[in-house]
Amino acid sequence: MQMEAEFWMAHVASSQLEAIPASEYARRHGLSVKLLYYWRRKLKKSDKTDAPLPAGKFVALRIAPGGFRPNNCTLALPSGLRLEIATT
């Protein structure tokens, strides 16, 4: 069951990142659209705390002023995307 959940977690996350309908995503990847919707609902119910933000929403990121200045700042997203910003 764990491997099945991990498989669908990856596909649900990927389908939400792409700007195409779930039915198109399922067709491209040879998946059942009914199962994709099922797992989307199931994972949404089980993980309310880490729910992804709706597409197109921005979150303000503020770095508090102080005496400490890091050499760089890294933002790691659940999708695996990493954004690194060097400070001067």
Is this structure's pTM higher than 0.85?
A: no
Composition of the chain by helix, strand, coil, percent to 5: 45, 10, 45
Give 72's strand partners.
86
Q: What is the pLDDT of residues 10-33, one digit of tens each?
A: 899 888 888 788 899 999 999 999
Q: Are 39 and 12 in contact (CB under 8 A)?
A: yes
Apex CA 20: angle with CA 77 and CA 7, to 5°? Answer: 55
3-state class of 57 per DSSP?
coil
pLDDT (tens digit per residue) in 67-78: 555 567 777 777
Assigned token pair, 37:
């919707």
